[in-house]
Copies of this chain bind each other. A is one copy, B any other.
Amino acid sequence: MALVSGRRPARKRRNQYHHGDLRRALVQEAVQTIDRDGVAGLTLRQVGERLGVSRTALYRHFADKSALLAAVGLEGFRAFRAAMMAVGSDGFEAMGRAYVAFARTHPAHYRVMFGGFLEGCRSEPELETEAKASFQLLVDALAGLQARGLLRDDDAEQMARFVWAIVHGIAMLAIDGQLGAHDPMIDVEYAIGRLATGLARPTPIARSATPL
């Protein structure tokens, strides 16, 4: 559950009425609520009540509800990038698996990050920065594979958008329940297999094939 970067020790500050770190508690409670009730089910009053705090205490830490959502998104992006970096960038197989796994493990974060709920948060530059950095991770990984001659020489950003669309599509369908009982990891494995064929550097012979 420790999603934030753990630089600050668990030492509680004094001179506070109810919490050592209300800000963090608010974000955490928001995430739990979204996991349970969806973004639409998130109410600031309930969050406060659940934390044993007045319903306006939140405004000491966040300008409004969308700022709280932005904090959830930012935390999500940081955890997401950490998870991606943890698997390394040798092949996109592991990244693809890690991507969908993250969405399933943190559906609330994922939905806030990529579900269009951050529209009113254009004022948060950190969000944009973090999102761009996550995407760049994928671009770099693909460029690395290209440099080793393993991938076609297409524009790396174009390839990245393609791969991103696939894992994003699988992830969204999975956490929205569109896949029913079907295991999304099967789709990830299938996609990896098809991408190996479709994105591999074309050999002279394969290039001459007229597939469709």
Interface assignment of A130: CB less than 8 Å from any CB of chain B: no
Interface assignment of A22: CB less than 8 Å from any CB of chain B: no
Interface assignment of A201: CB less than 8 Å from any CB of chain B: yes
Proximity bits, A168-197, B CB within 8 Å = 1, else 0: 111011011111001000110011001111
Which DSSP category, helix, strand, loop or mixed, fits chain A's interface? Answer: helix
A38:B119 contact, CB within 8 angstroms: yes
Chain A, interface residues (CB within 8 Å), range: 35 or more
Interface assignment of A199: CB less than 8 Å from any CB of chain B: yes
Residues of B within 8 A of A167 (CB): 169
Residues of B within 8 A of A63 (CB): none
Proximity bits, A83-122, B CB within 8 Å = 1, else 0: 0000000010100000000000000000100111101000
B212:A190 contact, CB within 8 angstroms: no
- A14 vs chain B, min Cβ distance (A): 39
B211:A200 contact, CB within 8 angstroms: yes
Q: Which one of A4-12, A45-53, A54-62, A156-164 is at the interface? A: A156-164
Residues of B within 8 A of A172 (CB): 114, 168-169, 172
Interface assignment of A144: CB less than 8 Å from any CB of chain B: no
Residues of B within 8 A of A205 (CB): 205-206, 209
**Closest partner residue, chain B, to A197 (CB atom):** B198
Proximity bits, A141-152, B CB within 8 Å = 1, else 0: 000000000100
- A156 vs chain B, min Cβ distance (A): 12
Bound CA–CA A200/B115 (angstroms): 32
Could you pull out 17 A-B pairs where Cβ atoms are within 8 angstroms? A40-B117, A93-B212, A114-B178, A115-B116, A150-B211, A150-B212, A161-B182, A161-B187, A165-B166, A165-B170, A165-B173, A165-B187, A165-B191, A169-B172, A194-B199, A195-B198, A197-B211
Q: Which 9 A-B pairs have the closest CB atoms?
A: A198-B198, A200-B211, A169-B169, A165-B169, A194-B198, A116-B176, A168-B169, A196-B212, A197-B198
